[in-house]
Amino acid sequence: MGNENNIHNIKNIPLTIFRTKKIMGFAIPISVFIDNNKIGDLKNGKSIECFINPGKHKVLFNCIEKDVIQDIVVDENNQKVEIITHAKMGLLAAVIVIDNVIYK
């Protein structure tokens, strides 16, 4: 049947977002959105995992002081994707810094 797109053939890739633990004042959770859909709150020293389809995605970290956006491009050959972050103190609250995006 040719080159039909079948939803059952779409490979879901695990995405893990880590927030490195900091000692001073980083108890405020940061809301994480992928393609405008909230996947959870990223707490100090914790991680969030979800599954995404291959393609281009926008990961948004919603902070009180400043939102941070990270574009990622996932391909069907990726086994998983990891985003390593940490929070630093801004003027009012914690702000997320992207340390690394790892495609495995």
pLDDT of res. 25:
53
Sheet holding 47-52, edge to edge: 47-52, 13-19, 81-89, 94-103
pLDDT of res. 52:
95
pLDDT of res. 6:
44
**Residue 11 CA: distances (Å) to CA of 14, 37, 39, 73, 80:** 10, 19, 19, 14, 11
pTM metric for this prediction:
0.83
pLDDT of res. 58:
97
Mean pLDDT by 10 residues, the chain (104 residues): 47 93 74 96 93 96 89 93 90 83 96
CA 95 to chain centre: 15
pLDDT of res. 89:
78
Q: Which CATH class is domain 11-103?
A: mainly beta
Residue 26 and residue 97 in contact, taking contact as beta carbons nearer than 8 Å: no
Polymer length of the chain:
104
pLDDT of res. 66:
85
Q: Is 7 helix (H, G, I), strand (E, B) or coil?
A: helix
Locate the domains of the chain by residue range.
Answer: 11-103
pLDDT of res. 83:
98
* Short-list 33, 36, 35, 22, CA closest to 99: 22
